[in-house]
Amino acid sequence: MNPSPTGSPQTTPGGGLLGRILTMIAGAVLLIAAFMFSLVALGVLVVGGVLVYAYLHWKTRHLRRHVAEQMQEAMRQREQRDGRVIEGEVVGGAEYDGRPESPPAAPGAAQLPRSVDGRPADDASGERAR
């Protein structure tokens, strides 16, 4: 092979139109093969994942049944207590004891706020009568 006289690149054999067409066909075949391989790999991963899930589901069936029975038993015990649920939160720092106080002198006195010395106030502003 003689070098080209003007420094232009040499053409490789089959570098014409036929070579370009064969290269495009080979590229398309490789892309199709890669796509098919990825579909097969994805299918294998999905089937493997389903098998792992089924195995774990089968092996934990006794545990799930035991937990469900415990939850049902807890619900039955909760309903048998007294059938009433009172929910709420305490606002303030009041302390309560189980002993009832002496009966109030007036019917509305129990609803009035207490003064510092523990006696009920006479009006809503908290002032005692003199």
3-state secondary structure of 114: strand
Residue 22: both structure tokens together: 């064969």
Residue 92 token pair: 């303030």
d(CA 63, CA 60): 5
Q: What would the pLDDT profile of 50-104 be if each residue is shown by its tens digit? A: 999 999 999 999 999 999 999 999 888 877 776 666 677 767 666 655 555 665 5
pTM of the model: 0.41
Average per-residue pLDDT for the chain: 77
Residue 11 has pLDDT above 80, yes or no: no
Sequence-ordered list of residues with C-beta below 8 angstroms from that of 84, at least 6 positions apart, any chain: none
- Domain extent listing, the chain: 42-79
- What is the predicted pLDDT for the residue at 71? 92
Q: Which residue in this structure is represented by tokens 């003007």?
A: 6
Q: Is 45 helix (H, G, I), strand (E, B) or coil?
A: helix
